[in-house]
Structure 1
Amino acid sequence: MPDTTDRRILRQLLADPGAPNSVLADRAGVTSASLWRRVERMREAGVISAIQSRIDWRALGWEVEVSLRFTLDKTNPRALDEFIAAAREVPEVTEIQTFLGSVDLRLSVIARDMAHWQEIYRDRILTLPHVSDSDALMLISTIKDSAELAL
Structure 2
Amino acid sequence: MIALDDIDRALVRALAQDATASAGALGRTLGLSQPACWRRIRRLRDAGVFRGARLDVDEQALGFGVTVFLGVKLAAKGRVSLEDFERAVTAIPEVQTVEHVLGGYDYRLRVVARDISDFERVLRRRIMALPGAGAIDANVLLSEERRPGPL
**Alignment equivalent of 1:42, drawn from 41, 44, 49:** 44
The TM-score, its normalising length taken from structure 2, stands at: 0.90
**Alignment equivalent of 2:29, drawn from 3, 27, 30:** 27
**Alignment equivalent of 2:114, drawn from 112, 115, 133:** 112
- Distance in 2 between the 1:146 and 1:117 partners? 24
- Distance in 2 between the 1:75 and 1:19 partners? 46
Contact 2:59/2:65 (CA < 8 Å) preserved in 1?
yes
1:132 aligned partner: 134
Regions of 4+ moved over 4 Å: none
| More divergent stretch after superposition (41-50 vs 79-88) | 79-88
* CA spacing shift, 1:34–1:56, aligned 2, 3 Å: same
Q: Indicate the RMSD between aligned Cα atoms, in angstroms.
A: 1.5
- Distance in 1 between the 2:22 and 2:60 partners? 26
What is the percentage of aligned positions where both structures have the same residue? 34
* 1:49-106 deviation line (CA, Å, top 9, x unaligned): 2122211111111111111111112442533222112212212111111012221101
- Distance in 1 between the 2:77 and 2:32 partners? 57
Which stretches in structure 1 are left out of the alignment for 5+ residues? none
**Alignment equivalent of 1:62, drawn from 49, 64, 68:** 64
The TM-score, its normalising length taken from structure 1, stands at: 0.90
Aligned length: 149
**What's the CA shift for 1:33?**
0.8
- Distance in 2 between the 1:124 and 1:15 partners? 35
